[in-house]
Amino acid sequence: MEAGDGLATGPDGLARCWWGGSDPLYIEYHDHEWGRPELGDRRLFGKLCLEGFQSGLSWLIILRKRENFRAAFAGFDFERVARFHDGDVERLLGDAGIVRNRPKILATINNARRCSELVDEFGSLAAYFWSYEPDPAQRPDPLDWSTMVGLGVSPEATAMSKDLLKRGWRFVGPTTVYSFMQAMGLVNDHLGECFVADEVEQLRAAFRRPARSRPS
């Protein structure tokens, strides 16, 4: 990594965002997932759940346990997770393959139960989440290290967090929500000199944003 530029050069000689070159799992995640726009409700729900579990931990810890989380939480099928009961909570607390944190487990089940309310109102989780996409014209272009350091949490992430909390969701603070937005492509926070930054921007340009369905 070159001092001050926020880039890490991997063994393949490619320049990546500083966090994406330190571990093979991080490299794979950075190169093929992070920042690519996502439409699938289960994937969106699952990522927001995992961001909640990450609170106070490193993302690498969660990434290493991600497949265990998927198995434990029914593939993040929120309709199934919404039916979890006390026995499931005890099962999850005994599962060494995940983060055994009771408040976070209960929050995930609670949030699954809140999903149907968003689907009823917006037509899909994707339509709700993408309604908070920041205006690309208001984003820095290109994004360099010094700008990235000063960005902080976006107003849109703060607004989404506030709305979700009002709707009864848990473990969805502004930092958690902004990390979710970065990962799911609502913003492109790959540094401008990162080798996948242009590819991600092209994917975002071609991405068809979900429309909100009108209740009948």
The residues assigned a catalytic role are 29, 51, 59
Q: How far is CA 161 from CA 42, 73, 172, 203, in A?
A: 19, 23, 6, 26
Helices 174-183 & 41-54, crossing angle to 10 degrees?
A: 130
* One-letter identity of residue 101: N
> Where do the H-state alpha helices sit in the chain?
24-32, 41-54, 59-72, 78-81, 86-93, 102-122, 125-130, 145-151, 155-166, 174-183, 197-206
- Residues sharing a CB contact under 8 Å with residue 197, sequence separation 6 or more, in sequence order: 142, 143, 188, 190, 191
**CA nearest 164: which of 118, 122, 124?**
118
Terminal CA-to-CA distance of the chain, rounded, Å?
A: 54
Q: How far is CA 23 from CA 59, 67, 80, 99, 195, in A?
A: 12, 17, 33, 20, 17
Separation of alpha carbons 29 and 103, rounded Å:
27
